Structure 1
């Protein structure tokens, strides 16, 4: 049996350059090994040597690997084995992204599947020359806006999660729900945004600023931070000075979030609800934070549900990859692989790129991370709950749910939306 891929293994393998040959192939029993010697290949750009994105990309590769092992053990797809072709990519470098895609084109992969990059347009430009279906959990409306404007050029690109704008749009809905349920008694109706400078975080901040005037809450202040954040002391003093009832830390680095919660827990604004945008999803957050993480809230527009389907996946994943499980890109890599499997089987030939893309566009798929429906101008997953966005969904089984978690007893528990929650919001230690 193949040993679990650890992050350390990935980094060690990266020194060989293109890592496709170095990654262990999923085990396929002889009795079910695909008859064809020509495997169906999924190209997986994976951050191995970069400073950013390694945790999420490793999660994505792990989820992909688990799906490949299951599919191959059951006989493959169309009588052929599935194979991952993993290449190194730096999510912050447009040049690295272009090199990675060109390597996959040279390898003649049948599809591409990726967690994300922060500079998607150059990557999309290169992939458009090849047109193999490209599924990624990009979470960026600036890219899906381009897809909507030029559907012919980008007809092969699918964003397998809702865009980052929903982090801003949905935050007031979450605050209202917690207040109305009596789980949180706000100090006031102010919201303080602590914002990073990359485009992703700026888009979230602008979306929240646009949503607040239409809600029960108002903007109390904005504080700028710049990656890497060396010391959170001045930020915490600003939080206490402004004194807002809710604080959004609009950042993205798990290790720096861990440093924040340790410092904040020692000198908090009593009674404030503190929300950490997405980063706590990465396993390092709990590893580094320890007990200081208790009570903090975070969310993701792409997360593994805790329903029957999601719980079964969580159990399988933890058995295959022991340790703290990331709850976002693990399920995304798994779902994307099964989505491609369904498309290939429906079309009958993975080399028919346009037909496969047409099938994905028109045919929704319900995975462990929820309902994936990309038959819209953006070719991105519809979001639940509907927040007034052009592709919002009012029914859970018509969109992908944004999951709000709270750290409770060193574990992540879904507290919103109500239809998926595992636990009620608890009083944070500093309340």
Structure 2
């Protein structure tokens, strides 16, 4: 994948400013859409014959999520975020006067056939107006079902191969609502070098142990990281690929302890796997900085890892911001579901359903798929995780600060460190309020 997709730093381009969509806001903890958007939701439009497009039926929106199986922690986050968005939209009068109904498609263990079955059910039987989900297949095989029907699909799978598939097939209705995975490694390398240059971190050695799960997402991140480290004069002392779920990290940690690296970078993204690694590492830590990919965003990670989570660094290219909007959403999530919201998928799916509702309202008919997709392309939408604005060719969210230096025009690439059991966001400005700290074992 690295040969096909060079590191993002090589692809970096400056984005010009465009006007943001006006009149989108959040009213208090309830998160109800207000301002210019309100009129779209509250007022059903009428056809030439005088009948309302709101007559009679609900508008169905599909959410594809692993609500059972090993990824269910993330899947529940997705569904709950979507439910809150549907509640907001319906309380505000629906889409063009029609209530929105959420239809869930369970993809369980993420087997490709589950994605295909979910897509066929949502499109053919449920007749959804649009669909969303946090994950997609590596081969994008389910995209064809949505593309043939024209049904808008929104996902946050973060895979460059998904974006490439959309371009190669000329699809106009499949939107990747977060920047792709090579940006993870590129962004981390920039931060890491900044810590070294400032003296905030002095590596014990310029060597790295890189561990990846054997899927294209994790391998792509690991490959970009390895190449970037080598360009900076680092050596890769260990590289291994594992099959998830993975619990016994003894063999890998034995090699790490025999030859302690300056950096340990794990691109497996399953929360349980990463928590297990952190706990086993903490029993005899090496003088190594520890980065783990995405999984610590899921609440169960800290529950499983406990104090071993402290000091761990992780990032996400789509995550709920610690600003007024993000805090209001997380407060409401806790009050509604009795548990803390994770820092990624709940906010993302909450935003995506509302983004679609605004686009459908502007199109004048939620089932005019081409008009809805065009409205999405023409929009900038500020949600609880930042600004959604899509590359016009790839239909992929533009990252900040990686591809644009304007935070109002890009999706922030967020980097956290767990400190004293709390998630501390320290990059990028202006969202990061904390600061990087050397882990206690260093």
* Pairing 1:286–2:297 present: no
SS of the counterpart of 1:295?
A: coil
Deviations 1:299-341 (A, max 9, x none): 1111111122222222222222222321100111111011011
State which of 194, 203, 212 in structure 1 corresponds to 2:220: 203
Aligned residue among 308, 317, 325 for 1:309? 325
- 1:307 and 1:374 map into 2 onto residues whose CA distance is 23
What is the match of residue 20 of structure 1?
Answer: none
What pairs with 1:403-422 in structure 2 (closer than 5 Å)?
A: 403-422=414-433
Task: Calculate the TM-score normalised by the size of structure 1.
Answer: 0.86
Q: Is 1:39 matched with 2:58?
A: yes
Residue 174 of structure 1, aligned match among 187, 191, 198: 191
Matched, 1:192 2:209: yes
Map 1:281-360 → 2, pairs under 5 A: 281-360=297-376
1:233 paired residue number:
250
CA drift of 1:230 comes to 3.4
CA distance in 2, matches of 1:37, 1:178: 59
Residue 39 of structure 1: how far off its partner (Å): 1.0
**Equivalent in the alignment of 1:5:** none
Q: What is the CA deviation profile of residues 27-76 of structure 1, one whole-angstrom value per residue up to 9, with x for unaligned ones?
A: xxxxx999743111101122233x33212121111111111111211211
1:130 counterpart = 2:146: no
The equivalent of 2:77 in structure 1 is 59
CA distance in 2 between counterparts of 1:144 and 1:132 reads 17
Q: 1:216 & 1:326 partners in 2: Cα distance?
A: 36
Give the 3 Å change call, closer, same or farther, for CA 147–239 of structure 1 in structure 2: same
Residue aligned with 1:359, SS: helix
Instruction: Determine the C-alpha separation between the residues in 2 that align with 1:182 and 1:368.
Output: 34
> How far, CA to CA, are the matches of 2:208 and 2:168 in structure 1?
34
Q: In the alignment, what sits opposite 2:95?
A: 77
Q: CA deviation at 1:402?
A: 1.2
Tell me the CA shift for residue 405 of structure 1: 0.8
- Of residues 161, 165, 168, the one that matches 2:178 is 161
Find the aligned partners of 1:322 and 1:215 in 2 and give their Cα distance.
Answer: 46
Change over 3 Å in CA distance of 1:216–1:326 after alignment to 2: farther
Distance of aligned partners of 1:212 and 1:108 in 2 relative to their CA distance in 1, 3 Å threshold:
same
Residues 251 and 422 (structure 1 numbering): CA distance in 2 closer, same or farther, change over 3 Å?
same
Describe the superposition over 1:124-183 as per-residue Cα deviations: whole angstroms up to 9, x where unpaired: 1222221111111111110111111222xx211000111111112222112122333443
Q: Does 1:244 align with 2:255?
A: no
Match for residue 380 of structure 1? 396
- For 1:107, which of 109, 126, 130 is the aligned residue? 126
Query: Unaligned 5+ residue runs, structure 2?
Result: 1-41, 45-53
More displaced, 236-245 or 214-223?
214-223
Whether the 8 Å CA contact 1:133–1:156 is kept in 2: the answer is: yes
Distance, in Å, in 2 between the alignment partners of 1:369 and 1:319 is 19
Are the counterparts in 1 of residues 292 and 314 from structure 2 also a CA contact under 8 Å? yes
1:232 CA displacement:
1.2
- What's the RMSD between the two structures over aligned residues? 2.0
> Could you say which residue in structure 1 is the equivalent of 2:168?
149
Q: Aligned equivalents of 1:88 and 1:230: distance in 2?
A: 25
Partner of 2:25: none
Secondary structure of 2:104's counterpart equals strand
May I ask how many residue pairs the two structures share in their alignment? Answer: 391
Partner SS for 2:209: strand
Residue 16 of structure 2 corresponds to none
Using the TM superposition, give the Cα deviation of residue 374 of structure 1 relative to its aligned residue in structure 2, in angstroms: 1.1
In 1, the alpha carbon distance for the partners of 2:167 and 2:83 equals 31
